[in-house]
Structure formats: C-alpha cells, structure tokens
Amino acid sequence: MKKTITLEAIDPIEIYGVGNRILTEFCTYFPKLKVTARGHELILEGRESDIEEFNVRFGELIERRHRKMNLTVYDVEEIFDGENSADKFRLSGDAIIVHGTDGKPIKARNARQQEMVKAYFDNDLVFAVGPAGTGKTYIAIALAVRALKNREIKRIILTRPAVEAGERLGFLPGDLKDKLDPYLQPLYDALEDMIPSRKLQEFMAEGTIQIAPLAYMRGRTLDRACVILDEAQNTNLGQLKMFLTRMGRSAKFIVTGDASQIDLPRRSDSGLIAGIRLLEGIKGISTIVFDSSDIVRHPLVTKIVRAFDTAAESPDEK
C-alpha cells in the first residue's frame, strides 16, 4: 500500500528537525515502513496497518508542535512510550514498557514478569532470581531503557561478574575489552532489541549507557541511574555488598541471577541467596522468584531445565 501525507501551513523542518533527526527517530518505530520525505510531502509504502498507525502518530506529533515552540526527539519518544505512567504499571504491571527496534511492544509476558515490573516501581532495589529463559534480565533492561527515555534517570549501567562458564578468559586473544565483550554480549543483544543501533552507539560513546565487569563498580557512587547486576549468582557476599552500596540518590538497582548456574570454583561461595536472606524484610527491597513454569523461551527450554533440576535433586547413580 502507498499513501502520501501532505504538511499544510507548517515548515517541514519544524516537524522533521534539523537534518531530519526527529523524522528519523519517528521512523525507527516503523522499521517495516518505507518513508520518503519530499518537501511538504511524506510518501509511505508498506502494510496498511503500519501506514494507518504512522498517520495517527504523526498527527499527534504535528498537534504537539502546535502547542510547543520546538520539537525534540524526546517528543517522539513520549508519543510512543510516555503514556505508560508509573501509576499504570503499579496497578497492573502489564502495560507496554518500551517499543522494540522492530516496532513490536515489549511488555511482561506472564504473571511473574508483571510482579517484577510492579516491584520495580514500588522499590529501589529488586532481586529477580530463577532459571534461565524466564526473561529476568530482558525485563530489567527494558525497564531501564524506559526510564532513560522518560528522563527519569541519567544513565544505565549494566554489569556482570567476570566469571566464565567453565572457560578461561585469559586464553582468549586481544586486550581486556576484547576478552570481556563476548561475556557481556547478552547485555548488548538486549539493548539492540530496544534502541536503534546508531543511538545506542551514541549513548555508549557519551557514557549514558555503560556495560562493564563488576570489579569496575568499586569506589563509585551511582546517582540517578538504573543499575543492573546480571549473573549475580557468581558474586560472593562481599562483592554483592560492594555493588549494593554503590547506590546513590534517585537510583534504581536490579539484581538478577540463577542459583542453579553457579560458575564459581566452590558453589558455597555464591552470595546471592545469602544476601537476599540478609536483606529480607527491609522496606524498599523486593524479591521476585521465578521458576521453570515462567520460562518464555522455546518450549523445550522448560523441559530441559526441569530435567536438570530433577537430576540435581536425585542421588548420584554409581
């Protein structure tokens, strides 16, 4: 389908922005739509549903320009994401968190994820623990991206303890960054699902989004930030304390981990469960416990996790 939108009685640069920056941001929400700007005309080519949605949202952008002196890329983000107020999340937990770079809405996919979303808005520290595939880290990053887009925070900091799953980073080629990047790749992957590549690179270059090993957190005070510690089962109690005491003013901390996948030389060194028990009952801290029924990956993942859990509970066969 093809449609032409004509801008009337308004200078296109007031809507498109300098260098078409606002229009480019707007179009990231419609990745399957071909949009061509020719002066006062916008030519849309793609699916009818996408064109209709574009037309409605673009009308909101024009209406916003009539109420403001100047538009910014934040106006675009508010049009798509701003309706999701904190109160709405507190009530249900199932509102759209952000829109992905493919245009699809990202939201909680089951009751446990909804609990996590609500807990985030009601607490400054959230523990999310449970097996692989339950979406703990993905939801945490989506909440952080939403907070950044809504200017509730100044930066996102994602961190993992540099403990390998049965491998040795020292034998990998390259400098420290080259060695660590593959280990941190799942965090990059989630961000790339939610932030256009060009903008993500800008955020990382300017330090608005930081991804680093846990050891790099020592000595810092993190104000107005959403800070996520992933794979926290691979921290000892001292490392967990060090991380949690980085919390500054207006900060949100999320800790995710899976106690069944401890990669430390001695499983007993893991401080995640012990830390949760120590902090139990403190106001402002919430713990969400996922189980195999909450897995949202391929259906086989649920069966795999249950099979391994059953084996771990059974005595070794000689």
For residue 67, the domain's CATH number is 3.30.1370
How far is residue 231's CA from residue 268's CA, in Å, rounded to a whole number? Answer: 16
Final residue of a structural domain among 81, 96, 120: 81
Position 97 in a domain: no
Do 152 and 253 reside in the same domain of the chain? yes
Question: Residues in the chain with pLDDT < 50?
Answer: 85, 88, 91, 165-169, 171-172, 175, 317-318
Final residue of a structural domain among 81, 97, 114: 81
Position 87 in a domain: no
Domain total in the chain: 2
Do 36 and 132 reside in the same domain of the chain? no
Do 69 and 192 reside in the same domain of the chain? no
Position 88 in a domain: no
Do 180 and 293 reside in the same domain of the chain? yes
How far is residue 213's CA from residue 211's CA, in Å, rounded to a whole number? Answer: 7
Do 119 and 267 reside in the same domain of the chain? yes
- Map tokens 């887009």 to a residue: 149
What pLDDT sits at residue 169? 47
Do 245 and 158 reside in the same domain of the chain? yes
What pLDDT sits at residue 307? 84
What pLDDT sits at residue 166? 39
Collapsing DSSP to helix, strand or coil, 226 comes out as strand
H/E stretch holding 224 reads: none
Token representation of residue 136: 């703990």
pLDDT tens digits, one per residue of 36-74? 999 999 999 999 988 998 999 999 898 888 877 788 887
How far is residue 126's CA from residue 69's CA, in Å, rounded to a whole number? Answer: 40
How far is residue 225's CA from residue 234's CA, in Å, rounded to a whole number? Answer: 23
What pLDDT sits at residue 98? 85
pLDDT tens digits, one per residue of 270-282? 999 999 999 999 9
Position 239 in a domain: yes
List beta partners, residue 157. 210, 227
Do 170 and 259 reside in the same domain of the chain? yes
Q: Indicate left, alpha or beta for 160 from its phi (over 0: left) and psi (-120 to 50: alpha).
A: beta
8 A C-beta contact, residue 71 and residue 61 = yes
CATH number at residue 246: 3.40.50.300
Position 181 in a domain: yes
User: Model-level pTM greater than 0.85?
Assistant: no
Position 174 in a domain: yes
Residue 38 sits in which domain range?
2-81
Do 307 and 174 reside in the same domain of the chain? yes
Do 115 and 10 reside in the same domain of the chain? no
Position 147 in a domain: yes
Do 253 and 162 reside in the same domain of the chain? yes
- Residue ranges of E strands in the chain: 2-6, 34-38, 41-45, 98-99, 105-106, 125-129, 155-160, 209-213, 225-229, 252-257, 285-289
Q: How many CA atoms lie within 13 A of 102 on its CB side?
A: 5
What pLDDT sits at residue 79? 80
Residue of 98, 73, 58, 108 lying closest to 192 (CA atoms)? 98
Q: Tell me whether strands 41-45 and 98-99 are parallel, antiparallel or unpaired.
A: unpaired
Do 212 and 256 reside in the same domain of the chain? yes
Do 169 and 57 reside in the same domain of the chain? no
Cα 269 to its chain centre, rounded Å, is: 29
